[in-house]
Amino acid sequence: MAKLANYFISGVWKDNNDNITHVLLHTVNDDNSFQYGVKTTELTAINLIKQRNTIKTITWGYPEWQIGALVTYVNNNNREYLRTVPNATQKDNLDNAINMKPIRN
């Protein structure tokens, strides 16, 4: 099986304006298993995409993780946002990712 992505995003941290500030980023192994997630800034994730890395979302669908959408980014008014499916939203739209705000580290 081909490698599905270089990284997965399973969760997001958002500010009071509902904008993503950080993501829970997992490195994907060659066998498509993945490592523990690391809290990473949105900008770092965007830079990984710019360096031609593939990032997809994952969601927990008991009893296993489900591979989600391809993550891209857009530039709007000199602000870059992570995106999944392109639409008219002018901010991030990883709405199915786990809200990590209650978790502090």
What share of the chain in percent tops pLDDT 90?
46
Tell whether 27 is covered by a domain. yes
In a domain, 72, yes or no: yes
**Residue 98 covered by a domain:** no
Q: Is residue 19 a part of any domain in this protein?
A: yes
Please give the Cα distance from 23 to 47 (Å, whole number): 13
Judge whether 26 lies within some domain. yes
pLDDT in tens, 27-73: 999 999 999 999 999 999 999 999 999 999 988 878 888 888 899 99
42-47: Cβ within 8 A, 24+ apart: 42/80, 42/81, 42/82, 42/92, 43/80, 45/7, 45/9, 45/71, 45/82, 46/73, 46/80, 46/82
Residue 26 belongs to what domain range? Answer: 7-93
Report pTM: 0.83
In a domain, 103, yes or no: no
Total of domains in the chain: 1
